[in-house]
Amino acid sequence: MFSTKRAYLILLLEGLASSGVQMVTIRQTVAFVGSSVLCTSIIISCFLGALALGYFFGGKTAPEKFSRALLFNLVGAIALFGIGLSYPFVSMFFLSIADISYGLPILGNPLVHLFAFCLLVMSPLVFLLGQTVPLLLNTADQETRKSEAAGSSTAISTVGNVVGCLLTSLVLMYFLGVGYSILVNCMILSFCVLLVLRPEKTVLKPMLLSITSLSLAVAFVANVRMPNQLFAATTPYSDIRVEATDGGKRLVINRSSASFIDAETRHGWPYIEMMKSAIFADDVAGKDILVLGAGGFTLSAEDTKGANFTYLDIDPMLKSVAEGDFLGEPIKGDFIAQDARAFLLTNEKRWDVIVVDLYTNAATIPMHTATFEFFSLVSERLTGNGKAVLNIAANPRLTDRYSQTMDNTVRQAFSRCITDITSYDDSLQNLVYLCGKRSSGVDRVARAYFDDTTRVTVDGYLSALHGSAR
């Protein structure tokens, strides 16, 4: 039988690791399903459901078996945490299920893949950890009321949950990366195993210690050694790596080819060159250009032409990786590590050009930067003659609801927009929107030309005359 202090320490550490599971799952799946409220709701729902089942079945365990059950649960949780949430396993899972379900209605949806991952990997892990509270209730003194024992145990575990959320996301992931975050949480659970084993006299002790040690070793290889070979950096937001390609380098962020740079010309992807043509079409010397979504900082890789570039990205590690492994030189411009919408809300400076190129993975735009309110905020932060240059992944044929609504959202937020495309394929492509600042003095929707007037000829002539004069 454990002392009350020992039981409370186990509960605190278990609660800490349980929250770590949730934070790590959200982070590890971003590269495959993106980051959205839908993804987070699936993960939290599965987490809470598994926790409830753990409480329920843990309470049905016979008192004389609680120590053995607790030991096996903790050892199993270490193996599941260290292997099941490692990047190599997560990548294998999502790529395999995507291949199996390719072309199938409903089953091919990435959210279904996330749900399957939560049910098969995360939920069993949480289920095992969730049994800790009812199992340790057996350690309460006989004089202690059941309600008091249950309340104290749940409170201690919840305090661990709170600390675990902050520790994993704000400290471990930020300073050590995702791999070490998983390893540290596994070590915390291993310490719990030692706390449970210490007063126990069981022939299983050597076997359990061996399994725990082996699980930690595998967790170290899967979460530290292998990711270090795959990525230049793993941050709370992204897995970043640089790949050599024919004639240049490719910057890959969360499995998305975020940037390319030609070794000789310093050119980027076709849509980047399209954006540069729009930005530098006018004399930009001395003008201020804000780039939301830094990518590989390629917009100014060739020449700034006298413009003042300010790059903004939520990931503070992106600049050092780009300078050291991708560009091979310091970026041309300033860098700010901050959320794009938060920056625009708190900074009232007006910009001559604002570039929006924000993604969490290959096709997912952060929800709060893909709405009418956000694009209206971009418009407000433009100078009177300023322009917005937007990269939107959508179907150029506008044959699906998302592409149609996205196109309409952008056009409502600005006074006038034209669209340039890199391909007319019936799939997601980079659509570059070139838009002007919305103004009450300009009709948001231009009037139409009709047969009963000559306006189309006169306006066309004046437009051509203005163009030739330039």
Please report whether residue 261 resides in a domain.
no
- Rama region for 361: left / alpha / beta (φ>0; ψ in -120 to 50; rest): beta
Question: Of the spans 29-43, 318-332, 448-462, which averages the highest pLDDT?
Answer: 318-332
Please report whether residue 263 resides in a domain.
no
Q: Would the pLDDT of 144 be above 60?
A: no
Q: What is the pLDDT, as a whole number, of residue 7?
A: 84
- Are 226 and 272 contained in the same domain? no
Please report whether residue 136 resides in a domain.
yes
pLDDT digit string, tens, across residues 298-353 = 999 988 999 999 999 999 999 999 999 999 999 999 999 999 999 999 998 999 99
pLDDT band for 152, please (50, 70, 90 cuts). confident
Which run of H or of E encompasses 384? strand 382-394
Question: What's the CA gap between 34 and 336, in Å, rounded?
Answer: 23
- Are 164 and 296 contained in the same domain? no
More confident residue, 201 or 388: 388
Q: What is the pLDDT, as a whole number, of residue 425?
A: 87
Segment 195-224 shows an average pLDDT of 86
Domain with 400, as residue range(s), is 268-465
In contact, 13 and 188? CB cutoff 8 Å: yes
pLDDT digit string, tens, across residues 55-79 = 999 888 877 778 888 889 999 999 9
Give the CATH number of the domain where residue 168 resides.
1.20.1250
- Are 198 and 274 contained in the same domain? no
Question: What's the CA gap between 161 and 192, in Å, rounded?
Answer: 15
- Are 144 and 279 contained in the same domain? no
Number of folded domains that form the chain:
2
Please report whether residue 249 resides in a domain.
no
pLDDT band for 468, please (50, 70, 90 cuts). very low
Question: Of the spans 392-401, 434-443, 460-469, which averages the highest pLDDT?
Answer: 392-401
Please report whether residue 242 resides in a domain.
no
Give the CATH number of the domain where residue 415 resides.
3.40.50.150
Q: What is the pLDDT, as a whole number, of residue 469?
A: 41
pLDDT > 90: percent of the chain = 55
- Are 287 and 193 contained in the same domain? no
